[in-house]
Amino acid sequence: MLENIMYVFIEFKYVNKNMTKQKYTLFSPNAPKFSEGMGKMGDDEREYYNEVVDAYKRGETIDFCDYIHEEQWKYFYQQTKGIEGAVELMGPLPKHWPVDAKMNIKVFNAVVYKKLQEMLSKKKQFPFLGIERNANQLDKHFLLTYGSVREHERECVMQALERLEVLNNSLYSRPDGKEELQKHVNIDYIFPIRNNHVKYRNIEGTDKVLDMKVKYDHLKVAPALYEAAKRTHCWVVLDVYPFNDNLNGTPSEKFLWPLFLGIPFIYIGSQQQREVLTSWGVTPNDSFSTDVRSTCEQMMWLKSIFNDPHLAQQWQNKQGPLIIENRKALDSLAGLLRNNPA
């Protein structure tokens, strides 16, 4: 199972002689791969986490900048049990994961907080599209952004949607396929013929690869997303590691866009991500899907509505109050993250 491959990059950030913070993150283009299969940590992975444990025991604050796998957390917990120390996490730990009473844990989604602040500072540039949407002016079914980092879970969702032609009248982006990753895209129980020709795509529908600086600066792509949103019935938030319930999942900044712009959206994410999103007062405009099949079925059902002008308008009219409530949740989210981060 590729879900158990962890990408670890270590960054040491010294604040002063007596106060240091070590950052450990899953995302790095040059990071080594670890522990594939059976959910067990490999020797290299354990060696990295021994460094984390040693730093914790020295009194350093350990900042897990991204997601942490259940097996990684259990190992860290076992090695630090009964020792006082401080840990910072991007997302809350699932309720069934062990926690030591002497461990001071702070949870703060810095990525969402930062991107939200940037967005709200640009409200005048991107007027809220609001609750009254004319379905006759919407010529695309969905708007979906994948991102630049390829991963097993998102790739399974995307390839199923592409092979079923769910996205044949949609605006979406995706990275191209990598041969090594492709080996782990296990949807052949649906499609007996493997797709080895996954192609890059941007939301404009061309194969022009955007500069990395542009892709990671969300405000630079905001004009394109804003114009695309005006044409689209529904935004699809395909979050990172969707359906991987072995991580301390928390929503990425992807869900901010439809709330900020004011259009309906559906959310594809893990159980933990869905729970956190709900705790923030955010509700998708259609029910949560829980696996690849239910995602495809949900989107095909919505397509059938969008293809009927009368039903499409009825659906849009019904979403208005929820769009407003979600925008209110967005406006108050920064304060919620600051004052009640967990």
Domains of the chain (ranges, CATH numbers): 2-107 (no CATH), 114-339 (3.40.50)
Task: Specify whether the CB–CB gap between 240 and 274 falls below 8 A.
Answer: no
What is the structure's pLDDT at 17?
Answer: 36
Contacts for 315 with CB less than 8 Å, ≥ 6 apart: 135, 233, 305, 306
For residue 259, is pLDDT > 70? yes
Q: Give dist(CA 223, CA 237) in Å, integer.
A: 18
At 315-329, the pLDDT tens digits run 999 999 999 999 999
- Per-residue pLDDT averaged across 60-73, rounded? 89
Q: Give dist(CA 300, CA 295) in Å, integer.
A: 9
- Per-residue pLDDT averaged across 68-92, rounded? 94
What is the structure's pLDDT at 15?
Answer: 33
Using the 8-state DSSP alphabet, how is residue 175 labeled? P
Which of these, 25, 11, 8, 6, lies nearest to 89 by C-alpha position? 25
Which helix (H) or strand (E) element contains residue 205?
A: none
What is the structure's pLDDT at 8?
Answer: 38
3-state secondary structure (DSSP) of residue 99: coil
Could you tell me which residues are beta bridge partners of residue 268? 238
Contacts for 129 with CB less than 8 Å, ≥ 6 apart: 229, 230, 261, 262, 263
Could you tell me which residues are beta bridge partners of residue 142? 234
Contacts for 16 with CB less than 8 Å, ≥ 6 apart: none
What is the structure's pLDDT at 268?
Answer: 98
Q: Which of 117-126, 307-316, 318-327 is predicted least confidently?
A: 117-126
Residue with the larger pLDDT of the pair 164 and 18: 164
Confidence grade of residue 23 (pLDDT, cut at 50, 70, 90): low
Q: Give dist(CA 267, CA 264) in Å, integer.
A: 10
Q: Give dist(CA 8, CA 66) in Å, integer.
A: 10
- Amino acid code (one letter) for 320: G
What is the structure's pLDDT at 7?
Answer: 36
Confidence grade of residue 119 (pLDDT, cut at 50, 70, 90): very high
Task: Specify whether the CB–CB gap between 272 and 136 falls below 8 A.
Answer: no
Using the 8-state DSSP alphabet, how is residue 312 labeled? H
What is the structure's pLDDT at 16?
Answer: 32
Contacts for 24 with CB less than 8 Å, ≥ 6 apart: 8, 9, 10, 11, 48, 52, 62, 63, 64, 65
Q: Which of 8-12, 66-70, 333-337 is predicted least confidently?
A: 8-12
Vertex 306 angle, CA 318 and 275, to 5°: 60
Tokens of 277: 């999103």
For residue 190, is pLDDT > 60? yes
Q: Give dist(CA 173, CA 160) in Å, integer.
A: 15
- Per-residue pLDDT averaged across 225-244, rounded? 95
Q: Which of 107-116, 218-227, 307-316 is predicted least confidently?
A: 218-227
Tokens of 5: 């491959």
